[in-house]
Amino acid sequence: MIKKILIVDDSPVARRMLKSCLPKDRGFELFEASNGKEGFEKYKDIRPDLTFMDLTMPVMTGYESLEEIIKYDKDAIVIIATADIQMKAIKTVLDSGAYMVLRKPLKEEDIQKALSVAEDTLLKQKGSVNA
């Protein structure tokens, strides 16, 4: 079950928009970071169930942060939320371990579907740990 969500984006508006697409009745614990380096540090501190990550950010890009997170936790569920939908960018992040890529501007139905799919994956991960 998804409880903790980390949102990594240098735009406060983008973070706010993503939060507004999340169901209010689920009681998610939400955490935010404004660049990839801060996102990676917060990831290590809070161990979120799900991370939303922008690609174009100062200090450390989403590409770099994703690589560090996956090195740290190979089972991390990182959803890239970006306006950069070039096939090369999408392939790069998926090859680096991103769970999926969502196109900005984000739509509530896309977030709902992503949450549902990610939750299924989390249940399978936890099931394989207990097996």
What residue spans of 3-107 are helical by DSSP H?
12-21, 36-46, 62-72, 87-95
Q: Of the CATH numbers 1.10.287.1120, 3.40.190.10, 3.40.50.150, 3.40.50.2300, which one belongs to the domain with range 4-121?
A: 3.40.50.2300
Return the pLDDT at 128.
Answer: 59
- Domain spans of the chain, in order of start: 4-121
Model pTM score: 0.92
Residues, the chain: 131
For residues 92 and 109, what is the distance between their CA atoms, to the nearest angstrom? 25
Residue 95's CB is within 10 A of a number of other CB atoms, namely 8
pLDDT digits (tens, 9 = 90+) for 19-53: 999 988 999 999 999 999 999 999 999 999 999 99
79 closest CA partner among 93, 64, 89, 91: 93
